[in-house]
Amino acid sequence: MEKVIVGISGGVDSAVAAYLLKQEGYQVEGLFMRNWDAALNNDFSGNPTINNEICPQEQDYNDAKELCKELEIPLHRVDFIKEYWDYVFTYFLEELKKGRTPNPDLLCNKYIKFDLFKKEAQKLGATKIATGHYARLEKGRLLRGIDTNKDQTYFLAQLTPNQLQDVLFPVGDKTKSEVREIALQNHLNVAKKKDSTGICFIGERHYQAFIQNYLKPNPGDILNVETKEKIGTHNGLMYYTIGQRKNIGISGYDQRHYVCGKNVEKNILYVAFGEKNEYLMSDECIIEDVNLISATHPSFCTAKFRYRGEDIPVEVEYLDQKKAKISYPNGAKAVTPGQFCVLYLGSECIGSGIIQEVRKNGQKLWYL
């Protein structure tokens, strides 16, 4: 009987993944990862940090234990706290310091879930690993999950073909409602549990208060991007992202407004007014750290510039092995440095890169 180690998170998706694999006849065991020290909030520098928030991580572990007891499968536990800090969270902080908007979930998958986790599973004698991601694998091709609203291939786009070998995504061919129904019908303890949100493994927190544990507030001017007039004061560029419309920190303006840019050297946040969103529009970007999953390297495909973004038709010019120019003549809104550009050819996720520079009409946007 083939042994599969399932990443049990304490949520419904991984629970149903484990249930389905057991029904298929696999020898299933669970592995719970602890990647954040919620109790100490330790920054590994020896410096005390603010700890005034409650993380549900231990509740997740308790839910995972109860689930595995119900399914009559063993549950293992492993700590990757130091590794998560070194490979994921440090990068997250460094990107924030640069005024960019990082997405740590992709790196968590690359360095933790499909690297360290996989190695730990092999130590436990597994020939395959499985997770509750809404994605599919077909002859080495990474395909979108059937449920387009829950598809998670965006978060898997930094994985290598080797990392995707011997991986199973049992819920990828199901909708979220079907997964919930399977859990309910089989009386799984997490059947009605709310989906988790927030930063990968860190959970739901008050973002600004959490970041202040690690980066000091650095107030600066908010300027009208057109008039250069000072219209307010920001708390620190790391708290804002391109396209943001709420909690910007200016008042007394009835006209719709949004964050459109940052100047890190001068510590300036730029805000635009009006309905046209012209300052959010671009037609070209440069991506770096390009990771190609597919052997197909098309010149024309579609791209997502953020997880919930729409598919934008693009032309890809590969500048070198790790750098590409992405052109989208019809324009795209709020393409943001630090975010990932994920490439698709139909339903196949072919790879990704980190957005380094955003352009319009051949020129780098001066306010980004």
Indicate the DSSP class of residue 52. -
Query: What token pair was written down for 96?
Result: 């924030």
Indicate the DSSP class of residue 199. B
- CA-CA distance, 117 to 80, in Å (whole number)? 9
Q: What radius of gyration do the chain's Cα atoms show?
A: 22
Identity of residue 26: Y
- CA-CA distance, 220 to 226, in Å (whole number)? 18
280-364 has which CATH code? Answer: 2.40.30.10
CA distances from 328 to 79, 299, 312, 331 (A): 43, 12, 7, 6
The answer to whether the beta carbons of residues 108 and 148 sit under 8 Å apart is: no
Residues annotated catalytic, as ranges: 108, 200
Binned at pLDDT 50, 70 and 90, residue 205 comes out as low
Handedness of CA 94, 97, 99, 101 (dihedral sign): positive
Q: What is the pLDDT of residue 171?
A: 98
> What does DSSP say about strands 3-7 and 167-168: parallel, antiparallel, or unpaired?
unpaired
CATH architecture assignment, domain 217-273: Roll (2.30)
Task: Write out pLDDT tens, residues 264-299.
Answer: 999 999 999 988 889 999 999 999 999 999 998 999
3-state secondary structure of 368: coil
Q: What residues contact residue 20 under an 8 Å CB cut-off, 6+ apart?
A: 170, 171, 182
Binned at pLDDT 50, 70 and 90, residue 199 comes out as low
Of 69, 63, 64, 165, the C-alpha closest to 122 is 165
CATH architecture assignment, domain 3-208: 3-Layer(aba) Sandwich (3.40)
Domain map of the chain by residue range?
A: 3-208, 217-273, 280-364
pTM of the model: 0.92
Across the range 119-135, mean pLDDT stands at: 98
The answer to whether the beta carbons of residues 271 and 257 sit under 8 Å apart is: yes
Of 221, 223, 219, 224, the C-alpha closest to 208 is 219
Binned at pLDDT 50, 70 and 90, residue 51 comes out as very low
Classify burial at 119, counting beta carbons within 10 Å of its beta carbon; exposed 0-12, middle 13-18, buried 19 or more. Answer: exposed
